[in-house]
């Protein structure tokens, strides 16, 4: 991510040649699909698909454990209750 991505890519291209068709807006980052969205206040922002990110993370952990001849436990606990719905949480926000 950069204010001037094309300039940085051109410098990198000197050492690591790139295919012209591979240069463009990002579509994937750390296993998560990326895309631009417009927020309700009109601001444009990047958004990431958490589902694919989590799936890729689990795959990486399973691959690492496989090398150690271990397995990921099924039905483990989670930090949040399945009944928790953050969009319904009316707790007051903390001060910055």
Q: What is the pLDDT of residues 46-86, one digit of tens each?
A: 888 888 888 888 899 999 999 999 988 887 777 888 888 88
Q: What do you get for the CA distance between the two ends of the chain, in Å?
A: 25
Per-residue pLDDT at 1: 64
Q: What is the pLDDT of residues 14-44, one digit of tens each?
A: 999 998 888 888 888 877 888 899 999 999 9
Element (H, E) at 57: helix 50-67
| Phi and psi at residue 17, to the nearest 5° | -55, 135
Count of residues making up the chain: 96
- The CA distance from 82 to 21, in Å, is 43
């Amino acid at each position: 991510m950069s204010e001037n991505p094309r300039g940085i890519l051109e410098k990198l291209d000197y050492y690591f040649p790139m295919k012209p068709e591979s240069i463009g807006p990002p579509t994937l980052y750390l296993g998560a699909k990326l895309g631009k969205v417009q927020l309700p206040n009109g601001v444009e922002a990047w958004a990431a698909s958490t589902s694919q990110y989590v799936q890729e993370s689990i795959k990486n952990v399973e691959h690492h454990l496989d090398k150690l001849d271990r397995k990921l436990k099924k039905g483990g606990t989670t930090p949040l209750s399945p009944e928790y719905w953050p969009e319904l949480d009316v707790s007051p926000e903390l001060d910055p």
